[in-house]
Amino acid sequence: MIPSGAVLLLGQLSPAVAADVLSRLAPDAMDTLLGGSPLTAPFVARVVAHGTHRQHLRIVACPSVGTDVRERLLDQGDPEVTAAVYRSPSTTRGLQRRVRTMLPPASLLPGPQERAGWQAGHIEYRLYPLVESDDRGTVVAALTYLAPYTRSPGALAAILRGYQQLLRLSGPDAVRDIVGILTDLRRRPPREDVPLEVRSAFENPTDPGCLAHALARLGSTEYLADQLANANLSNAGAHSLLIAPRDDELDWDVLSERLPLSARRNFTFLLAREPGCPPRLLPVDWRDRKLTSGRAEPADPADRSGPDELLRTSSASAPRVLDALRAGRLPAADYVAHGAPATYALAVLLTGGPVLCAEASAALTEPTTRHLGEHTDAWVAAVNLLPDFPGTTHELLETAAAMTAP
């Protein structure tokens, strides 16, 4: 196993050896590391630029990486990675629409075996962009596969957009044919709390004016804000709404004005991965969470543990150490140099948030350059030694360099 603190070390990799080092680390262990949280920006940047195909697929699936990371992976043009970005539960409408321009839309449709396992998966959102395709067969298939999910919050917009596309591509008869397939809507039409123009569109699915008015309503930020404010809305439902078809960009001013604090807290991760989301919309406590270890309580601000005790780190003492680091009583550079064992010290720093991670990275630059430099074997040795090494991080780097010296 590669411990989480290795993220801080690997973020220091020289571009000259990054590809060789990342390819030599155990694939299963890297899968676990890349699936964890948090991952630092320097580490993710190394993996995106120099990682293996398997590591790219794992990064795509990691919920803690941002939309910008998936954008950079799309820039590389790998078809399998591109399809994985589309299928990721952490994808956004913008990412899916971009993928639809890179791959044949029909290739994004799920096969029979995949659809068989959908009932508990809440992944109908993968069909939403396909109802906007210019390929009639893809639109028909997407609407057909949506039949069991007509009660999902974003499904109303997806179905009406599909009707609109079929009307444009093939005429009213094509719409009437697909309406006959969506039997659940015939048995249980949209509820009375659905906007009037939306109910009117479902009653007149071949009327282009009705469809346009309904989609304008469902695609408005005001409608989205009202739905997100519903205390009974699940994360899957909120994702469904955010990824549903819309013509306009999100109006962040409207969301900032209308979203209650409870909705901001409930859907922080969903909102934060949308491009352009302003920091003012996110709860402050989301950006300043405290470390806990197992069932331990957050660190006590009144704790005044001495330096010697703080430098002997264990999972039980991690909250006290983190409190000292945040309060400035223990400089991050000192902890990098003298905290032991190295695996605990690096793990504490990693969980301390962006500021501590940046300070730790700055403190690691000189010793990793001096001891490991562009020596692939030394880098691999340092990572492999980390789980059981009893000494400090500096001693770890010295040992790895000595073990692999020519």
**232 and 314 belong to one structural domain:** no
312 three-class SS: strand
pLDDT truncated to tens, each residue of the chain (406 aa)? 899 999 999 999 999 999 999 999 999 999 999 988 789 999 999 999 999 999 999 999 998 899 999 999 999 999 999 999 999 988 999 999 999 999 999 899 987 767 766 554 556 888 999 999 999 999 999 999 888 788 888 999 999 999 999 999 999 999 999 988 876 655 555 555 788 999 899 999 999 999 999 999 999 999 999 999 998 999 989 999 999 999 889 999 999 999 999 999 999 989 999 999 998 898 865 444 432 222 223 334 434 445 566 676 555 567 888 888 888 888 999 999 999 899 999 999 998 888 899 999 999 999 999 999 999 999 999 999 999 999 999 999 999 999 999 8
Task: Report yes or no: 328 and 335 within 8 Å, Cβ to Cβ.
Answer: no
Considering the domain architecture, whether residues 235 and 202 belong to the same structural domain is answered as yes
Q: Which helix (H) or strand (E) holds 177?
A: helix 172-181
Beta bridge partners, 312, equal 340
Q: Give just the sign of the alpha carbon dihedral 360, 361, 362, 366.
A: positive
Which of 232, 265, 282 delimits the end of a domain? 282
Q: How does 379-397 read in b/e, with b if 16+ C-beta sit within 10 Å?
A: bbbbbbbbeebeebbbbbb
Backbone angles phi, psi at 8, to 5 degrees: -70, -40
Amino acid in position 401: A
Determine, yes or no, domain membership for 154: yes
Cα separation, 350 vs 345, whole angstroms? 9
Total domains, the chain: 2
Helix, strand, or coil (residue 164) = helix
DSSP string, 12-45: T--HHHHHHHHHHS-HHHHHHHHTSS---HHHHH
- The tokens 């996110």 sit on which residue? 282
Q: Tell whether 169 is covered by a domain.
A: yes
**Domain-embedded: residue 263:** yes
Domain that holds residue 188: 110-282
Please list, in sequence order, all residues whose beta carbon lies within 8 angstroms of the beta carbon of residue 179, skipping any fewer than 6 positions away. Answer: 163, 185, 186, 205
One domain, residues 236 and 159: yes
Query: In this structure, are 154 and 265 located in the same domain?
Result: yes
Domain-embedded: residue 155: yes
